[in-house]
């Protein structure tokens, strides 16, 4: 073995990684081998975390954006004393193991987010830094003062989401970000210059970042660079020139070490190159001492923070209430906006009104729009903008960066103490889908506000008219989609979104006005995802959002034909399907034929209508025309819907 403890501790990261990957016969050894020097420096000299309390709120956040190198993180966590055992490392990539192929969010294990889709960790870390800066601005540096560290790769920097996020981070001067770039010149296809020859440092300089280039295997140079980055007021990118598969005699600096095990023969040669003579999964005691001793820094910091918090609470009893208002999620009961019965109001307008009360009751609610604030009604009127000079603002100007907005909102929410929301047109949820999906996978309770929800936005035409989006979003496991129809449903939708802390919620809202019901709506029934709006005995017509009043009008008309139609409003399919069978049967009936109506593709509604039911929708792209013309042309008028229902029932 090599002589210094630090060298052994660094090589230990490489050895654990290649052994676990070889045992699994699957994985990415090149990155852990190449970034081990960077990792050992960061974790032993800088990172402030506490394995005894991995969820401590003022810890540093570490994000492994290049999540394919997951074994590097798992090795660090195990050696540092987090609750990740050697048996967990042996079970790398196996069914049911906590050491999945890419890191999966688990704060108790020290994993701050799920990573793997490149660029997501980079952008989400920007959201974490916004969360830190805002809470520090509100609560003070004695209670909030930590950094966001991240490892990023060529792939992260090629993905567009990182460019969007980096641009915003530089604009906002988020100086608590230090990202270490694994500049190894290798991708799966070969050398990076096949597709990537830009001057990365110059690009980040232009974003307003601090950049510094170092030898990624010179630990003292790495330490000096991190120290310099941490002193700079700008976000920092440390460009570390590394060798992928470092130490492998035949696979270093080749794409062969990126995504495949080294093989037993090459591992034997690599162990010899490191001077490592212990068997697989056996670590020297001094390596454990090296990493676990470094964690005393975090333990001391947490103890000092707790003492500071207790002193602040003792000096001012209101401090405890303020902290609780951020870190204890309340169950809100919001007032329903008053609008005259029979008048017309868009659900996006109602959402903006409800947002004001929600923000007043939940000081940790923070977010904004992708440059569509007046259209989305997404501004908190009682607050200012979050800027480089005022961190107390709760309105984040994301700019026209929907993809980064999705990731950043996830990061704000993952940070803790805050609930992030992001708004844009529903059709642009396509730009956000990777972040929305990842948030659903993590169970991150971000809130998405998507307006202009159908072809009835009118003259902007099919590029802006969502038709397939509701079906696509409902297909994401763990994402709650709520499409409300009136003041009560909008209010309850916000209550449900805020009260749902185990996953994200999408609020789907209209541009056009909808009639305000003349009869009161039972908010408790709304909260069950679907309920009876109008009784009927011959058939059920399920509707959402803007089609609810249309369904009610059609049911009234068809009564003249002798049919009795039960109208069911179903603002959230997911919530309704989670109800007990007895309630679902009471709403839908046991044997009644079922029709559905929604101004979008009909895909997905067969789960209710079956093969014999009627599905009224729009299974094609929209058109540039006034909403009234579109409704007339495509059969979304009360008379047209009534006629289709009558024809269907007469044939049944």
Question: Residue 525 CA to chain centroid, in angstroms?
Answer: 29
Bridge pairing between strands 344-346 and 513-515? antiparallel
Q: Is there a contact between 31 and 182 (Cβ–Cβ < 8 Å)?
A: yes
What's the CATH number for 5-300? 3.40.50.970
What's the CATH number for 529-651? 3.40.50.920
Distances (CA, A) of 355 to 18, 260, 388, 495, 628: 51, 50, 25, 10, 29
Q: What is the pLDDT of residues 245-257, one digit of tens each?
A: 999 999 999 999 9
- Residue (of 129, 200, 137) closest to 171 by Cα position: 129
Strand order of the β-sheet with 236-241 is 61-64, 148-153, 177-183, 236-241, 210-215
Is 50 exceeded by the pLDDT of residue 1?
no
Long-range contacts, 384-392 (Cβ 8 Å, 24+): 386/130, 386/133, 386/134, 386/172, 387/172, 388/171, 388/172, 388/173, 390/137, 391/133, 391/134, 391/136, 391/137, 391/138, 392/134, 392/137, 392/138
CA pair distance 421, 445, nearest whole angstrom: 9
Average pLDDT over residues 524-547: 98
The pLDDT score that the predictor gives to residue 560 is: 87
**Proportion of the chain above pLDDT 70, given as a percent:** 99
Q: Is there a contact between 447 and 420 (Cβ–Cβ < 8 Å)?
A: yes
CA pair distance 455, 458, nearest whole angstrom: 6
Would you call 196 helix, strand, or coil by DSSP? Answer: coil
The pLDDT score that the predictor gives to residue 327 is: 85
Residue written as tokens 């529903």?
Answer: 426
The pLDDT score that the predictor gives to residue 313 is: 93
Average pLDDT over residues 299-304: 98
Is 70 exceeded by the pLDDT of residue 75?
yes
Number of neighbours of residue 97 by Cβ within 10 angstroms: 15
The pLDDT score that the predictor gives to residue 331 is: 82
Q: What is the pLDDT of residues 596-611, one digit of tens each?
A: 999 999 999 999 999 8
The pLDDT score that the predictor gives to residue 317 is: 87
What's the CATH number for 344-515? 3.40.50.970
Angle at 20 between CA 16 and CA 26, to 5 degrees: 140
The pLDDT score that the predictor gives to residue 409 is: 98
Q: What is the pLDDT of residues 137-161, one digit of tens each?
A: 999 999 999 999 999 999 999 999 9
CA pair distance 103, 375, nearest whole angstrom: 37
CA pair distance 10, 392, nearest whole angstrom: 41
CA pair distance 468, 603, nearest whole angstrom: 8
Distances (CA, A) of 255 to 49, 185, 200: 34, 10, 21
Distances (CA, A) of 95 to 52, 101, 368: 27, 10, 39
The pLDDT score that the predictor gives to residue 2 is: 52
Please pick, among 112, 402, 489, 495, the residue that the annotation labels catalytic. Answer: 402
What contacts 249, CB < 8 A, 6 or more positions away? Answer: 266, 269, 270, 273
Would you call 357 a catalytic residue per the annotation? no
Q: What is the pLDDT of residues 420-477, one digit of tens each?
A: 999 999 999 999 999 999 999 999 999 999 999 999 999 999 999 999 999 999 999 9
Q: What is the pLDDT of residues 541-576, one digit of tens each?
A: 999 999 999 999 999 999 988 999 999 999 999 999
User: In CATH terms, are 5-300 and 529-651 the same topology?
Assistant: yes
Is 80 exceeded by the pLDDT of residue 329?
no
CA pair distance 541, 545, nearest whole angstrom: 13
User: Helix %, strand %, coil % for the chain, to 5?
Assistant: 45, 15, 40
Average pLDDT over residues 208-232: 98
CA pair distance 365, 418, nearest whole angstrom: 6
Is 70 exceeded by the pLDDT of residue 120?
yes
pLDDT level of residue 652 (50, 70, 90 thresholds): confident
What is the phi-psi region of residue 377: left when phi exceeds 0, alpha when psi lies from -120 to 50, beta otherwise?
A: left
CA pair distance 571, 505, nearest whole angstrom: 12
In residues, how long is the chain?
A: 652
**Proportion of the chain above pLDDT 90, given as a percent:** 96
- Residue (of 546, 569, 636, 496) closest to 346 by Cα position: 546
Q: What tokens does 27 get?
A: 């994985």
Q: Is there a contact between 436 and 480 (Cβ–Cβ < 8 Å)?
A: no
Angle at 355 between CA 401 and CA 317, to 5 degrees: 105
Q: Is there a contact between 464 and 427 (Cβ–Cβ < 8 Å)?
A: yes
CA pair distance 216, 41, nearest whole angstrom: 11
Task: Please provide the distance, in angstroms rounded to a whole number, between the alpha carbons at the two ends of the chain.
Answer: 81
For the chain, give the mean pLDDT.
97
Domain assignments of the chain as residue spans, ordered by start: 5-300, 344-515, 529-651
The pLDDT score that the predictor gives to residue 328 is: 84
Q: What is the pLDDT of residues 489-523, one digit of tens each?
A: 999 999 999 999 999 999 999 999 999 999 999 99
């Amino acid at each position: 073995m090599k002589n210094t403890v630090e060298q052994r501790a660094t090589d230990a990261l490489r050895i654990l990684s290649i052994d676990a990957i070889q045992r699994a016969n699957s994985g990415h050894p090149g990155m852990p081998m190449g970034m081990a020097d960077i990792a050992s420096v960061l974790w032993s000299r800088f990172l402030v975390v506490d394995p005894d309390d991995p969820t401590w709120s003022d810890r540093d956040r570490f994000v492994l954006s290049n999540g394919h190198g997951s074994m590097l993180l798992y090795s660090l966590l195990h050696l540092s004393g987090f609750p990740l055992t050697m048996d967990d490392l042996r079970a790398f990539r196996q069914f049911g193991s906590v050491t999945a192929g890419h890191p999966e969010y688990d704060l108790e294990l020290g994993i701050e987010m799920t990573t793997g889709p490149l660029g997501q960790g980079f952008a989400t870390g920007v959201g974490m830094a916004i969360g830190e800066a805002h809470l520090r601005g509100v609560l003070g540096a004695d209670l909030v003062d930590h950094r966001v560290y991240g490892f990023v790769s060529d792939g992260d920097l090629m993905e567009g989401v990182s460019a969007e996020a980096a641009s915003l981070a530089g604009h906002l001067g988020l100086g608590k970000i230090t990202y270490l770039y694994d500049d190894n010149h290798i991708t799966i296809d070969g050398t990076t210059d096949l597709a990537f020859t830009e001057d990365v440092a110059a690009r980040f300089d232009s974003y307003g970042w601090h950049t510094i280039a170092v030898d990624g295997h010179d630990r003292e140079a790495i330490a000096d660079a991190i120290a310099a980055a941490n002193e700079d007021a700008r976000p920092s990118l440390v460009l570390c020139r590394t060798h992928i598969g470092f130490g492998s005699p035949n696979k270093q600096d080749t794409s062969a070490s990126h995504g495949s095990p080294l093989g037993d023969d090459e591992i034997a040669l690599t162990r010899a190159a490191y001077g490592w003579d212990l068997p697989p999964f056996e670590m020297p005691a001094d390596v454990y001492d090296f990493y676990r001793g470094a964690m005393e820094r975090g333990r001391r910091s947490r103890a000092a923070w707790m003492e500071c918090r207790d002193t602040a609470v003792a000096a001012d009893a209101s401090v405890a209430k303020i902290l609780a208002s951020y870190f204890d999620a309340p169950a809100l009961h919001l007032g329903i906006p008053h609008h005259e019965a029979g008048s017309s109001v868009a659900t996006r307008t109602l959402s903006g009104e409800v947002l004001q009360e929600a923000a007043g009751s939940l000081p940790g609610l923070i977010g904004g729009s992708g440059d569509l604030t007046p259209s989305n009604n997404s501004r908190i009127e009682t607050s200012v903008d979050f800027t480089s000079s005022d961190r107390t603002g709760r309105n984040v100007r994301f700019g026209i960066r929907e993809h980064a907005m999705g990731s950043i909102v996830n990061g704000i929410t993952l940070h803790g103490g805050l609930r992030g929301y992001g708004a844009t047109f529903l059709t642009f949820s396509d730009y956000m889908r990777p972040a929305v999906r990842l948030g659903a996978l993590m169970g991150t309770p971000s809130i998405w506000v998507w307006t202009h929800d159908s072809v009835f936005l009118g003259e902007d035409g099919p590029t802006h008219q969502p038709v397939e989006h509701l079906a696509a979003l409902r297909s994401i496991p763990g994402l709650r989609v709520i499409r409300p129809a009136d003041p009560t449903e909008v209010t309850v939708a916000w209550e449900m979104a805020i009260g749902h802390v185990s996953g994200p919620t999408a609020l789907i809202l209209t541009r056009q006005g909808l009639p305000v019901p003349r009869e009161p709506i039972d908010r408790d029934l709304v909260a069950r995802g679907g309920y009876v709006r109008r009784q009927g005995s011959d058939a059920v017509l399920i509707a959402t959002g803007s089609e609810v009043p249309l369904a009610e009008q059609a049911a009234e008309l068809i009564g003249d034909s002798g049919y009795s139609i039960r109208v069911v409003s179903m603002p959230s399919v997911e919530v309704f399907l989670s109800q007990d069978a007895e309630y679902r049967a009471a709403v839908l009936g046991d044997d009644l034929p079922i029709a559905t109506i929604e101004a979008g593709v009909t895909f997905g509604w067969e789960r209710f209508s079956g093969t014999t039911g009627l599905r009224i929708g729009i299974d094609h792209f929209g058109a540039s025309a006034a909403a009234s013309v579109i409704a007339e042309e495509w059969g979304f008028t009360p008379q047209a819907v009534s006629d289709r229902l009558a024809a269907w029932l007469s044939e049944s």
